[in-house]
Amino acid sequence: MTITSPVIAIDGPSGSGKGTIARRVADALGYHLLDSGALYRLTAIAAENRGIRLDDAAAVAETARGLDVRFDSHEDGSERIWLSGKDVTGEVRKESTGAGASTVAAHPAVREALLERQRAFQRVPGLVADGRDMGTHVFTSAALKIFLTASAEERAKRRYKQLKDKGLDVSLAALSRDIDDRDRRDSERSVAPLKPASDARILDSSGLSIEAVTETVLEWVAEL
C-alpha cells in the first residue's frame, strides 16, 4: 500500500511539550498540523458563549458539531484562532479554558461530534496531530505514534514559564494542582482516556531540550 498522507500522532499529558514538538516536526516535514486540544477548548468557549452548561452533553455536542472556526498561520510562526468571526487566540490558551475543555472532552457525544472534523485534517503531504487520543482513536493507523511524557513537576514548571512569558499572572502551586486535576480527569474518563496506544513509542522529555526531542521524533520519522 502506498501511504500518500502519513499521520504522525503525538499524544501525552498536559505540559509534556506536545504542542511545541508537533509544530516543530510539522514545520520540518512541511506537514499539516492538528492541535486537537484547541477543538475541545473552542467547544468549551463556544458553549459558554451560548450560555450552555458544560455538563449538558447533548447541547455541548451540538455546539461542537456547529463550531465555526478558522486557524490562521502567519509566516512569522504566529497563529490566530477565530471562533464565529471573533479572535479568541488569547482565550483559547487560558488555564480556565483548558479546564473547561477537559470537562467537555469527557462527554462521549462531544468526542464523536469532533471525530470527522479531526480526521479531515489528514491531507497530503502528511499530518502531525497532537492530543490525547490521536493514536488510540482518531488516527489508529497512524504511521508513527508517540506518547510524549515528562515528570509532573517539570510539566508544571514549563506551563508556568509559558504563561508567565505571555504576561499572565499565575501561581506554580495552583498550576500544579490544575494540571493534576486535568490529568486525572483525562486519564480516568471512560471514553478515550489518556493512555499510550499499544504500538506507541514512549518518549520522556524530562531534562531534554525542545531541539533534542524534535530531533528524536524526526529520526523516528526517517526510519519509517
User: Which residues of this chain interact with ligand C5P, rule CB under 6 A?
Assistant: 14, 36-37, 40-41, 98, 101-102, 105, 131-133, 182, 186
Shortest Cβ distance from residue 156 to ligand C5P (Å)? 13
Of 102 and 214, nearer to ligand C5P (C-beta) is: 102
> Looking at beta carbons only, is 1 or 21 nearer to ligand C5P?
21
Whole-angstrom Cα distance, residue 29 to residue 119?
19
What is the closest distance, in whole angstroms, from the C-beta atom of residue 98 to ligand C5P in the complex?
5
CB 73 within 8 A of CB 32: no
Q: Which is nearer to ligand C5P, 91 or 186 (CB)?
A: 186
Shortest distance in whole angstroms from residue 6 CB to ligand C5P? 18
Nearer to ligand C5P, 52 or 110 (CB): 110
Residue nearest ligand C5P (C-beta atom): 37
Strand order of the β-sheet with 86-87 is 69-73, 79-83, 86-87
C-alpha cell at 73: 498561520
Other Cβ atoms within 10 Å of 104 Cβ, number: 30
C-beta of residue 155 within 8 angstroms of C-beta of residue 13? yes
Spatial CA neighbour of 111 closest among 192, 213, 195, 196: 192
Which one, 132 or 221, has the nearer CB to ligand C5P?
Answer: 132
CB of 204 to ligand C5P, least distance (A): 18
Please give the Cα distance from 75 to 86 (Å, whole number): 21
Strand 69-73 vs strand 201-204: parallel, antiparallel, or unpaired?
unpaired
- Comparing CB distances to ligand C5P, the nearer of 4 and 202 is 202
Alpha-carbon torsion (17, 208, 180, 156), positive or negative: negative
Shortest distance in whole angstroms from residue 222 CB to ligand C5P = 26
CB of 194 to ligand C5P, least distance (A): 7
